[in-house]
Amino acid sequence: SSRPAAAAGALERAMDELLRRAVPATPVYELREKTPAPAEGQCADFVSFYGGLVEVAERAELLSRLAQGFGVDHGQVAEQSAGVLQLRQQSREAAVLLQAEDRLRYALVPRYRGLFHHVSKLDGGVRFLVRLRADLLQALTLKLLEGPHIREMDGVLKSMLSEWFSSGFLNLERVTWHSPCEVLQKISESEAVHPVKNWMDIKRRVGPYRRCYFFSHCSTPEEPLVVLHVALTSDISSNIQAIVKECPPADPEDKNSISTAIFYSISLAQPGLQGVELGTFLIKRVIKELQTEFPHLQTFSSLSPIPGFTKWLLGQLSSQKEHSRSQLFTDSEARELAELTGGPIAETLKVFLSGSEWAKSEKLVRALRAPLMRLCAWYLYGEKHRGYALNPVANFHLQNGAVMWRLNWMADESLKGVSSSCGLMVNYRYYLDETATHSTSYLGSKHIKASEQVLNLVSQFQKNSKL
């Protein structure tokens, strides 16, 4: 942005020049199978030019020009559409209609798809496209890119990646202390949920009573795409520090003491694969793997974070009219909290909950337990986006067919846990016989399956907020 306009102009000209050279022309329909592949160098040029752009804004600019300038030829589409319509009216024989439709289909393929296709055949080409899509998504988030053309290009990329990263081509790999350091370093770095502090920390997470699995693509073994951490326990965990902080027994595992698998972290290691259905499939696959290793394992559940709850709650507190009766707290709760915090509760709570110190006050922790459990239950169960759960972790597990099973108070007392979700965590439980039914029901009728505990909390919330 601080670059002089002249230099920027030069770069833009170089981009246009590159794209003109690198993006293969679309052969006419008749020759589509007889056209030799573009020279290797042609597409490799694009890869190295792109790799040479260091700033995300520059990459975004190039992607924008590619999306805008090398998409579908709308004239062609219109022409072929008209052809199809005309044939349809003439009720010609099937062969003619089918060919016209195929021409139309061909016309609807954006020209940049040819570039992506040929790049994918280069050494490391697919990996390059994954990174390119990660850049694209980042640029969308940063608002460096927007508009229908770029969304179309994202759709094209996502659909290509979905074909390549289809479940038939994924390998499940287990991580242990015998895995290459390279792999353990990658696993550590991609752990987004409960960050890995040091090497002893990761050694523990791959040691006894723990499992760590990832999917890799069969063409790039030892390269994690999506990672799942599991704790093997005797009951459904209600506290994450018990899993990631305390030393597990040094003794070898006693298989008989294991009845429960807790999925306590799932992370996408390749941001460019967002939206490609990997996590759901990984959980299914790991459940099968664990059932083979532990035939008597019966209970499967997540112990999941609730990102966004604190933020949502602060929003609720803000939107309450001062001096009006609170809809968030009962009268007695409000009194107790006012006493403890010594001020108008909406305001003081906003200050408290913006920090994490409150979690060290036994009294506050006790006083907030009931209202926050209730509010959080509502946040997870009642707040929606296009009819589905607003909270993305909830939405993920509910799509998989899990049940919203138990809210856990003070389940994550880490700084991150307290500040992002007031220390609350939730178990999504997988009843294997019913996940398919629940999944269909959630996706179809948008119905959330929840336990008694959760439903009780929700109805308490509803009762209170109606006052």
Q: Which residues bind a second copy (CB under 8 A)?
A: 34-36, 39, 72, 74, 77-78, 81-82, 84-85, 88, 94-95, 97-99, 101-102, 104-105, 108, 120-123, 125-126, 147-149, 152, 155, 160, 163-164, 166-169, 171, 177-182, 184-185, 199, 203, 217-219, 222, 399, 436, 439-440, 443-444
- Three-class SS of residue 221? coil
Report whether 378 contacts 412 (CB < 8 A): no
Rounded to a whole number of angstroms, the minimum distance from the CB of residue 191 to a second copy is 16
Rounded to a whole number of angstroms, the minimum distance from the CB of residue 65 to a second copy is 15
Whose Cβ is closer to a second copy: residue 149's or residue 429's? Answer: 149
Q: Nearest CA to 172 among 235, 121, 217, 215?
A: 215
Rounded to a whole number of angstroms, the minimum distance from the CB of residue 47 to a second copy is 13
- Which helix (H) or strand (E) segment holds residue 230: the answer is strand 226-233
Whose Cβ is closer to a second copy: residue 54's or residue 181's? Answer: 181
Report whether 427 contacts 408 (CB < 8 A): yes
- Cβ burial 187-200 (10 Å sphere, 16+ → b, else e): bbebbebbebeeee
Task: Judge residue 388's burial from the number of C-beta atoms within 10 Å of its C-beta, 0-12 exposed, 13-18 middle, 19 or more buried.
Answer: middle
Q: How far apart are CA 101 and CA 278, in angstroms?
A: 33
Catalytic positions are 304, 397
Rounded to a whole number of angstroms, the minimum distance from the CB of residue 118 to a second copy is 10
Whose Cβ is closer to a second copy: residue 160's or residue 455's? Answer: 160
Whose Cβ is closer to a second copy: residue 51's or residue 155's? Answer: 155
Token readout for 300 is 């499967």
Tell me how far apart the terminal alpha carbons of the chain are, to the nearest angstrom: 54
Token readout for 340 is 């403890």
Q: How far apart are CA 443 and CA 400, in angstroms?
A: 9
Query: Which residue in this structure is represented by tokens 């990263």?
Result: 165
Report whether 117 contacts 164 (CB < 8 A): no
Q: Say which residues have a Cβ less than 8 Å from residue 279's Cβ, sequence separation at least 6.
A: 226, 228, 266, 268, 396
Token readout for 314 is 């602060």
Distance from chain centroid for Cα 336: 40
Rounded to a whole number of angstroms, the minimum distance from the CB of residue 30 to a second copy is 10
Rounded to a whole number of angstroms, the minimum distance from the CB of residue 271 to a second copy is 19
Whose Cβ is closer to a second copy: residue 2's or residue 89's? Answer: 89
Q: How far apart are CA 203 and CA 73, in angstroms?
A: 55
Whose Cβ is closer to a second copy: residue 132's or residue 359's? Answer: 132
